[in-house]
Chains A and B, each alone.
Chain A
Amino acid sequence: MNQPLALTAAQKAGPRLTLAALGAVLAILVALPLLSLLPADNPLQVSAYTLTLVGKILCYAIVALALDLVWGYAGLLSLGHGLFFALGGYAMGMYLMRQTAGDGLPAFMGFLAWTELPWYWYGTSSFLWSMCLVVLAPGLLALVFGFFAFRSRIKGVYFSIMTQALTFAGMLLFFRNETGFGGNNGFTGFSTLLGFGITAPGTRAVLFLATVALLVISLALGWGLARSKFGRVLTALRDAENRLMFCGYDPRGYKLFVWVLSAVLCGLAGALYVPQVGIINPSEMAPTQSIEAAVWVALGGRGTLIGPLLGAGIVNGMKSWFTVAFPEYWLFFLGALFIIVTLFLPKGVIGLLRRKGEQ
């Protein structure tokens, strides 16, 4: 009798503890931008550097969560999520470039001696249309790619390789000056967003809060999906797709839905990343970026919602410290981290925490 009782108590304490920790983190995240608005001589003031760094990591955390939805739940390992992130970023970047250029052409087009905007730039001076592009560009690409990939029943490592090839192709395309997205320099030198100075403390604080809001919404969305029958169908799909088909479910619609949702979340994260970091260029589409995102998820614990967020935070926190302290060893360290996690922490950091909790 005692043991089951103790177990239930632990199970009840678990979520409460998690909720309390989540609440504390959320409170800190909301406080950070407010503290950044304090005068510079105040001891509690948060520097613009810190705020930007944390904001950037939060954007990556959203990517990790989105990747976990398709990898951890549906079993589709994407090694190309950097592409969706970059597309959202470029859509936002187009608007920012138009803001900077005013009535003229963005500066890089001047260097190419272009006299007219390419057709896909039309309307990008409107913030609303640019926000639509942020959703549409990654969403439509994911829809078309997913439609054909899932129809042809491509799965496992073949699917991963195709997504990797897709982001590589995207990178090569965006590197070309003729593509009309600033070539290898990408977009930078932004001045205003909706008329507000992009480096102004107030703008930074609002962008940061928007990122926190998107993260919370993504988390709630993921939570809702994971608890619904849809989430259970995804898990079933991951473990026994054939069985699921003989139960009368068509896997294609399920995969496509979660795949497009994940891509759109990445695009939104990219759109918030660009004004905070101040630059977007094709290196965001580099295959290594997408692989790193998979490391975040694996490290944190896939198939859980908090795990990927932890993973993104830990890896990027370490990265920003390592690349300052021992810049030449970062990639070795990242590799070692991945090996250690695969060998000793198959369920990631979250698995480790849970085991500790049960003891």
Chain B
Amino acid sequence: MHATPGHFMLEPAYDPNSGTGTGRDAIGLGRASGPGLDVRHGTLLTLEDINVSFDGFKALRDLTLYIGVGELRCIIGPNGAGKTTLMDVITGKTRPDSGQAFFGESLDLTEMSEVQIAQAGIGRKFQKPTVFEALSVFENLELAQNADKSVWASLRARLSGEQRERIEDVLTTIKLDASRQRPAGLLSHGQKQFLEIGMLLVQDPQLLLLDEPVAGMTDAETEFTAELFKGLAGKHSLMVVEHDMGFVGSIADHVTVLHQGHVLAEGSLEQVQADERVIEVYLGR
């Protein structure tokens, strides 16, 4: 959906072809998803030589990571390895000191604002489940849904039958059908986790970043989440940060181990677990 001129917005939609500074500080305010993403070489996310430091502390050191289209990648690593910082860099919350971050072939993430990055098709789930507590489950999904998100569009927005159907589908998928009218603040921890996953589903991003998605879930819920993610991979790319090795083993075909802001090892879970350096980091010698 494209905004027509005259809509209330202050920020031009991110146009990689314009070449002029529609950077982070250009004020003004947006619209729905940008131009079709160019993923000619099958790589959805490219991070090269990323460095981030906070007051001299190096959170990420020369980090290089590629995520392919439709891939399900798990990121593991001990505390302080830089997993959350990595997500912050991808979503524009933290700017790298140096290095390149590209979404598709042409979108430079270091030049885009958080909102533009979200509109370009990167969704994020936080470590602590964050939903809009005062709104009902249905309304949470309605807001997250992929649509024109400018002020003007919101003032006159009506749900189309198709959009309503999509929300209904997701409600069924995340098993919150019966609670659709409940305020999200009254849901249990596990239900909030699912609602947030559902919000990512209706947002329909090409890349989903999930920070500890099964924290606080029961075994049955964890198993269900694993099935859900496996179903998503292929159509979407997923990057999952998780401590639960059982969960990682059940979903991942490819695992990256971070240690002190650097990629320590990459490969299948078995390969990684057999790696001397990984054992050293995890068990300590």
Contact = CB atoms under 8 A, between A and B. Distances in A.
B29 A253 contact: yes
Give the dominant DSSP class at A's interface: helix
B203 A248 contact: yes
A253 B9 contact: yes
A238 B149 CA distance: 17
A236 B143 contact: yes
A245 B114 contact: yes
Given A236-B143, A240-B130, A248 B119 contact: yes
Contacts of A254: 151, 154
A249 B115 contact: yes
Contact of B29 (A236, A240, A246, A250): A250
B118 A248 contact: yes
B133 to A, nearest CB: 5
Interface in B20-55: 25, 27-30, 32-33
A248 B118 CA distance: 5
A230 B275 CA distance: 52
Contacts of A16: none
A46 B46 CA distance: 76
Contact of B126 (A236, A243, A253): A243
A257 B151 contact: yes
Give the dominant DSSP class at B's interface: loop
Contact of A247 (B28, B118, B155): B118
B131 interface: yes
Contact of A246 (B30, B32, B123): B123
Given A247-B118, A248-B149, A248-B203, A253 B28 contact: yes
B27 A232 contact: no
B11 A235 contact: no
B196 to A, nearest CB: 8
A228 B142 CA distance: 12
B151 A253 contact: yes
Interface string B177-213: 0000000000000000000000100010000000000
Contact of A230 (B30, B139, B155): B155
Interface string B61-93: 000000000000000000000000000000100
Interface string A244-265: 1111111011101100000000
Contacts of B144: 247
A257 B8 contact: yes
Interface in B129-150: 130-135, 139, 142-144, 146, 149-150
B149 A249 contact: yes
A253 B130 contact: no
Interface in A15-68: none
A353 to B, nearest CB: 20
Contacts of A314: none
Interface in B93-137: 113-115, 118-119, 123-124, 126, 130-135
A239 B142 contact: no
A246 B114 CA distance: 7
B228 interface: no
B200 to A, nearest CB: 9
B157 interface: yes
A236 B135 contact: yes
Given A233-B143, A253-B9, A253-B150, A245 B155 contact: no
B27 A147 contact: yes
A243 B11 contact: no
A206 to B, nearest CB: 32
A229 interface: yes
Contacts of B279: none
25 contacts: A151-B27, A225-B155, A228-B154, A228-B155, A228-B156, A229-B142, A232-B139, A233-B154, A235-B134, A235-B135, A236-B132, A239-B132, A240-B131, A242-B130, A245-B115, A245-B118, A246-B118, A248-B32, A248-B115, A248-B118, A249-B143, A250-B149, A252-B29, A253-B9, A254-B154
Interface of B: 8-11, 25, 27-30, 32-33, 91, 113-115, 118-119, 123-124, 126, 130-135, 139, 142-144, 146, 149-151, 154-157, 199, 203
Interface of A: 147, 151, 225, 228-230, 232-233, 235-236, 238-240, 242-250, 252-254, 256-257
Closest 9 CB pairs of A and B: A253-B29, A250-B29, A248-B118, A229-B157, A236-B132, A230-B154, A250-B115, A253-B151, A248-B119
Given A236-B132, A253-B29, 15 more contacts: A232-B139, A232-B143, A240-B133, A242-B126, A242-B130, A245-B118, A246-B123, A247-B199, A248-B30, A248-B119, A250-B28, A252-B10, A253-B30, A253-B150, A257-B151
